[in-house]
A and B are shown apart, each in its own frame.
Chain A
Amino acid sequence: MALRDGFVAQGAVAVETPILQPAELLLDLYGEDIRARAYVTSDALRGEQMLRPDFTVPVVQMHMAHGAEPARYTYAGEVFRRQEDDPDRANEFLQVGYEVFDRVNPAAADAEVFALFAQAVAHLGLRAATGDIGILTSAVNGLRTTERRKAALRRHIWRPRRFRTLLDRFAGRADIPETRQALLDGTAVSHAPLIGLRGPSEIRERVDALRSDAAEPPISAVEMDGLDALLAVRETLPFAVQHLRDLAVDLPAIARAVSKMEARIEALSARGVDVDTLEFETSFGRTSMEYYDGFVFGFYAESRPDLPAIASGGRYDALTRRLGNGQEIPAVGGVLRPGLMVDLEVAT
């Protein structure tokens, strides 16, 4: 509660959300994988419900429904995570969060959130990691290839392995599967009656899409090398931003995202964050929940590599768009895990 009060002192409104969340919305946002992470229950009236796996979605919903702008919220409460692989991970734990909805100065909001969390965990000597999903997204958007290919890549930004497979295919670096070739040649046929909801027009649409894709030139070697270099960027912020600036020569589409990053570095610096030693990794945050689309950060205990992030967060503009019924607002936030913090405090 002291942590939450600290956020209230920063001007945040303390809010509460229901523990039971409608499952359908979370499934639509995260896909079936959320079932592996959230507890599902149900009743005959409301159907499937999930024990909240995090606060962000209900807080965004609440803000989009009747929030004034700009807004800062804080909360403290339990979240529930189903554990299937590691019995040592908690399935129920406290989270304290801070979320900022502000369209005036996103760089300042990013810096505000990061600095507050850095301050809250400063006594624990944690390693901070940062990234920016927006860099990769803008690089994909700027590729000189079809919108269909870009959409396929964007859809799998959060699945690095699948992303790589698609990228190699679009660059002509992967063999075409035999059955795919047969389909393109028109020799794949079936005499079975077509059953189910997916109709003949849908199959034709996909075959046509595959044929027109096969006629497209591959993504160029220059762009592929640029993407590879981009994904490999992992250094302190000043070097990272210099490196990305250089890469913007071959990938001009990232220039705007890099400018935003520069503005963020300035804002962080103005907040007293030592940006010269702060790590940046382009791929950071790509395997966590799908809603982050810009700045991302995490704080880790180096002495306890078995622990998840002690604090983490990021920017989720697109989520407000999806939950906003036509409205949207830039938003950034993060969460702390007081339970883990106490463990670390006891250990030191």
Chain B
Amino acid sequence: MTVKLGVPSKGRLMEKTFEWFAKRGVTLSRTGSDREYAGAVDGIEGVTLVLLSAGEIPRELAAGRIHLGVTGTDLIHEKLPLWEQQVEPVEELGFGNADLVLAVPQGWVDVDLTDDLDAVAAMFRARHGFRLRIATKYHRLVREFLREAGVADYALVDSQGATEGTVANETAEAIADITSSGETLRANHLKVLSDGLILASQATLWRSRGAALDDADRIVLRALLERLG
């Protein structure tokens, strides 16, 4: 067997992850053609690179099919309700910073806190006959956050992309989405609630708590973690 390391298969996240490992003497690379998702690991024996979509890495870690994986805190928390029992954070990688935030139109001068949002949701429902809609793809995290904040009379509507545009298009009244600089939000005339930070996320190296290891794997994993730590 070998120790399996799951890494995002494309884009800046993959490049930054490769750089981060390279600085620690572990060279990750893609092999074969540009389109083939195969990879190689140099600098340490007994480790296999598995290229995956960042969104699938939580599931693979939880199932124990990979021993280590790089993905965002947001995806781990959203996809694994019992994440603390299934995975353990090894290192924060210092990039891929993104916050999951709750945002409303800038023109809502009367709304700055989740407390305001709750009051507005009640009035909105009374006036329009349906619950105030919040567009997001992070259903579980947003619902837990709003329950904790005591917000009622809202509905989550699924939005898998261009979420910032849903308010202007009148398919939602507020949104909960990932932002790094807030520029897209501002460009779409939205503002983040003062207490609307749902989760601060960054790319993180996780270790599966459930992946099987033989004695040889255990030695390799320890050596690898020492190198990375």
A residues lining the B interface (CB < 8 Å):
27-28, 31-33, 35-36, 84-85, 87, 152, 155-156, 159, 161-162, 165, 177, 179-180, 183, 188-190, 192-198, 202-203, 205-207, 210
29 residue pairs from A and B, CB less than 8 Å apart: A31-B153, A31-B154, A32-B131, A32-B146, A32-B156, A33-B143, A36-B140, A36-B144, A84-B81, A85-B82, A161-B150, A165-B115, A165-B150, A177-B113, A177-B115, A183-B109, A189-B109, A193-B189, A195-B168, A197-B170, A197-B173, A198-B105, A198-B120, A202-B124, A202-B127, A203-B107, A203-B109, A207-B110, A210-B110
CA distance A190 to B113 in the complex (A): 16
Other than the known A85-B81, A179-B113, A195-B189, what 8 A-B pairs have Cβ atoms closer than 8 Å?
Answer: A31-B131, A36-B140, A155-B122, A189-B109, A196-B168, A196-B170, A198-B120, A207-B110
B194 at the interface (CB under 8 A from A): yes
Within 8 A of A (CB), among B63-116: 81-82, 105-110, 112-113, 115-116
Q: Are B150 and A180 in contact (CB under 8 A)?
A: no
Q: Are A32 and B143 in contact (CB under 8 A)?
A: yes
Greatest chain A CB density within 10 A among B123, B131, B146, B150 is at: B150
User: Inside 8 A of A35's CB, which chain B residues have their CB?
Assistant: 139, 143, 156
The 3 closest A-B pairs by CB, nearest first: A162-B150, A194-B107, A192-B106
Known: A33-B147, A35-B139, A179-B113. A198 touches B108 (CB 8 A): yes
Q: How far is the CB of A129 from chain B (nearest CB, A)?
A: 24
Query: In the complex, what residue of chain A is closest to B127 when comparing beta carbons?
Result: A202
User: Inside 8 A of B116's CB, which chain A residues have their CB?
Assistant: 180
Query: In the complex, what residue of chain A is closest to B170 when comparing beta carbons?
Result: A197
- B182-208 interface code vs A (CB 8 A; 1 in, 0 out): 000000110000100000000000000
Residues of B in contact, count (CB < 8 Å): 41
Q: Which of A165, A179, A189, A196 contacts B173 (CB 8 A)?
A: A196
User: Inside 8 A of B144's CB, which chain A residues have their CB?
Assistant: 36
Q: Are A27 and B155 in contact (CB under 8 A)?
A: yes
Known: A196-B170, A206-B120. A188 touches B189 (CB 8 A): no
Known: A35-B139, A195-B168. A190 touches B107 (CB 8 A): yes
Q: Are B108 and A177 in contact (CB under 8 A)?
A: no
CA distance A27 to B152 in the complex (A): 11
Within 8 A of A (CB), among B157-180: 167-168, 170, 172-173
Q: How far is the CB of A48 from chain B (nearest CB, A)?
A: 11
Q: How far is the CB of A239 from chain B (nearest CB, A)?
A: 32
B residues lining the A interface (CB < 8 Å):
81-82, 105-110, 112-113, 115-116, 118-120, 122-124, 127-128, 131, 139-140, 143-144, 146-147, 150, 152-156, 167-168, 170, 172-173, 188-189, 194
User: Inside 8 A of A162's CB, which chain B residues have their CB?
Assistant: 118, 150
Q: Are B115 and A203 in contact (CB under 8 A)?
A: no
User: Inside 8 A of B147's CB, which chain A residues have their CB?
Assistant: 33, 36
Q: How far is the CB of B171 from chain A (nearest CB, A)?
A: 9
Q: How far is the CB of A345 from chain B (nearest CB, A)?
A: 31
User: Inside 8 A of B155's CB, which chain A residues have their CB?
Assistant: 27, 32
Q: How far is the CB of B142 from chain A (nearest CB, A)?
A: 9
User: Inside 8 A of B194's CB, which chain A residues have their CB?
Assistant: 179
Q: Are A196 and B122 in contact (CB under 8 A)?
A: no
Q: Are B152 and A31 in contact (CB under 8 A)?
A: yes
Q: Are A159 and B167 in contact (CB under 8 A)?
A: no
CA distance A329 to B63 in the complex (A): 51
Known: A35-B139, A165-B115, A202-B127. A196 touches B110 (CB 8 A): no
User: Inside 8 A of B188's CB, which chain A residues have their CB?
Assistant: 195
CA distance A202 to B140 in the complex (A): 29
Q: Which of A33, A177, A205 contacts B112 (CB 8 A)?
A: A177
Known: A36-B143, A188-B109, A194-B105. A156 touches B124 (CB 8 A): no
CA distance A196 to B106 in the complex (A): 11
Query: In the complex, what residue of chain A is closest to B190 when comparing beta carbons?
Result: A195
User: Inside 8 A of B172's CB, which chain A residues have their CB?
Assistant: 196
Q: Are A195 and B107 in contact (CB under 8 A)?
A: yes
